[in-house]
Amino acid sequence: MPGDLALPDLPLRDDLRGSVPYGAPQIDVPVRLNTNENPHPVPTRVAEAVAAAVAEQVGGLNRYPDREFTELRAALARYAARATGVTLDADGLWAGNGSNEVLQHLFLAFGGPGRTALGFVPSYSMHAEIAGVTATAWVRGSRGPWDGPDPFGLTAAEAAAQVRAHDPDLVFLCSPNNPTGTALGLDVVRAVLAAAPRAVVVVDEAYGEFARPGTPSAVTVLAEHPLLVVTRTMSKAFAFAGGRLGYLVADPRVTAALRLVRLPYHLSSLTQAAAVAALRHADDMLATVAATIAQRDRITEAVRGLGFRPVPSDANFVLVGGFADAPAAWRALLDRGVLVRDVGLPGHLRITAGTAAETDAAVAALADLVAADSSVVAAPGVEALVAPGAGR
């Protein structure tokens, strides 16, 4: 229509021109294993408790919520202490509408024009995305090769050398990493902290609850490093993705700085009430973690048996390598009713650990694909290029 503006006609920031919005495909298929959601619904008694807590707030929605989300920070501190084995001060807890908002707060406070952030790819794509929208320069650090003894690995020496070379203001580490699923040793975290004494070092532990026994949280070294920040989420293990609640653990001085950049009353009364109620039922909410891990390991063994090359995972998904043409395989699986994630890594697809029935369906679809055309599996040794990153 006359007068309508196309996107290129808008006075958009130059650095945003040509960008595309973040988003994984939301396709209605029988088996959705592409966004690392917990496949199990919220338990009935927890759903009832959350509904009751939210209902209590409805009559008071004429008033603004608690700006300091005091009760929620205390509840998060109790849960995070239990999850990490570290006694925590509620003043060091911060929360947002999903961990992406928490990450954005960090960029707004410590990044911005003239500042640089570094991450080691392939990794979570939103780190680079948020860097872009906050006008923070992004440096793509690198991980080891996909076909080495430690696929996409990151050693302490390699990480520290890259940090020293770029001297960033922010450093991002993922443990377990997305999309590879691999956890980092604390030696890597300590090496980065030593190599970047002026930088805010962020360890993204969105999948921490799925890590194999003996995998320590970076929260355990927080007391030694005032510029270390550990981000976590209720979206994955907590089966609370629709509740949009992410959080971080940091020195209270860091959370004080985040108050300068958050929007007023950024967590609604309903969000706070729902999250507190869910945290009171943490055992119920986390009851499916063991089942999810079992399905993750089932996927790993099954795809290996079909000739693919899975990356050992500490998360609730498996990065599967060995596809001759990953986009074509993605489409072929979708045609069979199974939605997985093409994360942009040549030869690789990421498969979320779902229910036992969903694992059955995914493995059957892969087996059918291989049976129909054995060339779906690439010959060992085919080199893959590293793409920017992966979404949750």
pLDDT tens digits, residue range 372-392? Answer: 988 899 866 544 444 455 667
- 66 with 123, same domain? yes
Percentage of the chain exceeding pLDDT 90: 86
Classify residue 92: in a domain, yes or no.
yes
Write the CB contacts of 89 (distance below 8 Å, at least 6 apart in sequence).
77, 252
Cβ-count burial 89-108 (b if 16+ within 10 Å, e if not): ebbbbbbbbbbbbbbbbbbb
Q: Are residues 241 and 152 in the same domain?
A: yes
Domain co-membership, 120 together with 165: yes
> How many domains is the chain built from?
2
Q: Check residue 384 and give its pLDDT.
A: 45
The structure's pTM equals 0.93
Q: What is the pLDDT of residue 22?
A: 82
Whether residue 1 lies inside any domain: the answer is: no
Q: Are residues 73 and 178 in the same domain?
A: yes
Amino acid at 324: A
Residue 2 covered by a domain: no
Q: Are residues 31 and 66 in the same domain?
A: no
CB atoms near residue 259 (< 10 Å): 12
220 and 275 inside one domain: yes
Contact 235, 207 (CB under 8 A): no
**Segments in the chain below pLDDT 70:** 1-6, 379-391
* Domain stops at, among 261, 285, 309: 285
Where residue 158 sits, what CATH number does that domain have?
A: 3.40.640.10
Domain around 377: 7-41+287-390
For the packed helices 99-110 and 125-133, what is the interaxial angle rounded to 10 degrees?
Answer: 50
Q: Report the pLDDT value the prediction gives residue 386, as an integer from 0 to 100.
A: 46
Q: Which of 265, 285, 305 is the last residue of a domain?
A: 285
| Same domain assignment for residues 166 and 309 | no
* pLDDT for position 4: 58
pLDDT score for 391:
66
